[in-house]
Amino acid sequence: MTRAAPTTLRPTSAKEVRDAVLDTPGRLAIAGAGTAAGWAGRADDDVAATLDLSGLSGVIHHNPGDMTVSVHAGTPVLALQEQLAEHGQRLAFDAARVARGATVGGLLATADAGPSALVWGGLRDLVIGTTSVLADGTMVRSGGHVIKNVAGYDMAKLLHGSHGTFGPVVEVVLRLHPVPKAVACVAVDGPVAEAASRVLELMASPLEPIAVEWVSGDPGRLLVRLEGGAGTLPARVERLRELLGADAREVGPDAWDAHASLTDGPHAGGDADRPARDGAVVRIGCAPTRLAPLVEQLPATAVTAGLATGVATVTVPGAAVTEVHDAVAAVGGTSMLRDRPEALDAPAWGPAPSALALLKAIKNQLDPEARFAAGRFAPWM
């Protein structure tokens, strides 16, 4: 294990992570590739050390026959996909951050997902096992061979969206899918309300889209992705164009670039090739039928909206973040600040969830001294 700075530890194995937890008194911050540094609440600066898991990388075991793979948590998804493709397989996951080097563990901890979550779900649905380290140094494995049964908790589900608050993930076992033989994308321009109407008809059809996303603009664009066999896909594309209307047209894969740029946020990662834009980025989720009207009422300067999943990413003026949280809560949804200018002081979360007491109880059992990821869920806990 290396020390990059007096307060930064870079373990390269699960054992070294455990040793770091045991040997470091006080609070620990958990970091990875840095692609979600601005997500959720700001991490507390009052820590004894930062545990950088980016050195914990690589495939542990790939079983092509069972279509499963186990990896170290710091493994970049992009590198994993390249290795899996050699066997005609993939992790059916396409969050925008993947292109910037986001890791399996980081994506699991932030509950990030991409357009194909419509069919494949997020990592919550693709993870079949995890190994993590608790505050007392206990190594806990969920899924497969059980090292320790933690009061009946499904740790893989708990760790999804935990932002490190229950401890560092060190290994992840994933379910894989075949690489599709052919992929096509159809686009049609129009405002979000018009797109939502088209999506209702699309989802009632037998076309089985893999991704359905609306991207803001003048007047905006609906993107629909299909996958399938090379021989059958052209006919499905034609039926999709007929359903979406005379203006629908087939477009190339680069049509998703604008979607990825708006979803990933204007300040993400401090990448010099990604010039910062004004505003804060908020991820919102609600019932799909309520998403289009909600998006229309928000003071958003940029939007990507999964009209079939109910998940959207909106860029708004920093002063409007609280307004967004309130509007989302009013329709029974959830919201989280996922990117912001460094100087912006805005609430990271909407109203506390109804399960807050349960979350606090689990946190108290797994991390009674609150050593991990302090501040991420502020002011809730």
| pLDDT, position 375 | 84
CATH code, residues 182-260: 3.30.70.3450
**Residue 52's closest CA among 4, 15, 6?**
4
How many Å apart are CA 311 and CA 115, to the nearest integer?
9
Per CATH, 182-260 and 276-339 having the same topology is answered: yes
| Vertex 303: Cα angle to 300 and 307 (nearest 5) | 125
Q: Are the C-beta atoms of 99 and 77 separated by less than 8 Å?
A: no
Average per-residue pLDDT in the chain?
A: 89
Kindly list the distances between the CA atom of residue 256 and the CA atoms of 185, 278, 334, in Å, as whole numbers in the listed order. 9, 22, 25
Question: What Rg value do the Cα atoms of the chain yield, rounded?
Answer: 21
Work out the angle between the directed axes of helices 192-203 and 233-244 (0-180°, nearest 10).
130
What residues does 178 pair with on adjacent strands? 89
Q: What is the pLDDT of residues 302-348, one digit of tens each?
A: 999 999 999 999 999 999 999 999 999 999 999 999 888 778 888 99
Q: For residue 80, with 0-12 CB atoms within 10 Å meaning exposed, 13-18 middle and 19 or more buried, which class applies? A: buried
User: What one-character-per-residue DSSP string does 196-231 give?
Assistant: HHHHHHHHTSS---SEEEEE-SSS-EEEEEEEE-TT
What is the CATH number that goes with domain 57-178? 3.30.465.10
For the ranges 223-227, 308-312, 361-365, which has the lowest average pLDDT? 361-365
Q: How confident is the model at residue 266 (pLDDT cuts 50, 70, 90)?
A: low
Q: Please answer whether residues 168 and 52 qualify as being in contact, where contact means their C-beta atoms are separated by less than 8 angstroms.
A: no
User: Which of the pair, 275 or 150, is modelled with greater confidence?
Assistant: 150
25-56 pLDDT, tens per residue? 899 989 887 777 777 877 777 888 899 999 99
Considering only 135-144, 159-168, 199-208, 264-273, which range has the smallest mean pLDDT? Answer: 264-273
Q: What is the pLDDT of residue 153?
A: 65
Amino acid 362: pLDDT? 92
- At 114-160, the pLDDT tens digits run 999 999 999 999 999 999 999 999 999 887 533 344 455 688 889 99
Q: Tell me, what's the pLDDT at 298?
A: 97
The confidence score (pLDDT) of residue 149 equals 44
Q: What is the band of 271 on the pLDDT scale with cuts at 50, 70, 90?
A: very low
Q: Is the pLDDT of residue 296 over 90?
A: yes
Question: In angstroms, what CA-CA distances link 66 with 69, 121, 178, 246?
Answer: 9, 19, 12, 44
Lowest mean pLDDT among 100-104, 177-181, 219-223, 231-235: 100-104
Task: Mention the CATH class of domain 276-339.
Answer: alpha beta
Domain boundaries, given as residue ranges, for the chain? 57-178, 182-260, 276-339
Share of the chain above pLDDT 90, in %: 72
Asked if residue 11 has pLDDT above 90, the reply is yes
Both tokens of 292, joined, read 């289009």
d(CA 118, CA 120): 6
Phi, psi of 377 (to 5 degrees): -110, 20
List the structure tokens of 217.
Answer: 């603009």
| pLDDT over 80 at 3, yes or no | no
Closest CA to 59 of 45, 47, 74: 74
In order of 124, 189, 202, 346, the CA distances from 318 in angstroms are 30, 29, 35, 7
Query: Helix axis angle, 288-297 relative to 321-330, nearest 10°?
Result: 150
Distance from C-alpha of 42 to C-alpha of 299, rounded to nearest angstrom: 24
Backbone φ/ψ region at 167: left (φ over 0), alpha (ψ -120 to 50), beta: left
Rounded Cα distance between 239 and 206, Å, is: 10
Of 375, 326, 381, 321, nearest to 355 by C-alpha is 381
Cα angle 356, 359, 365; round to 5: 145
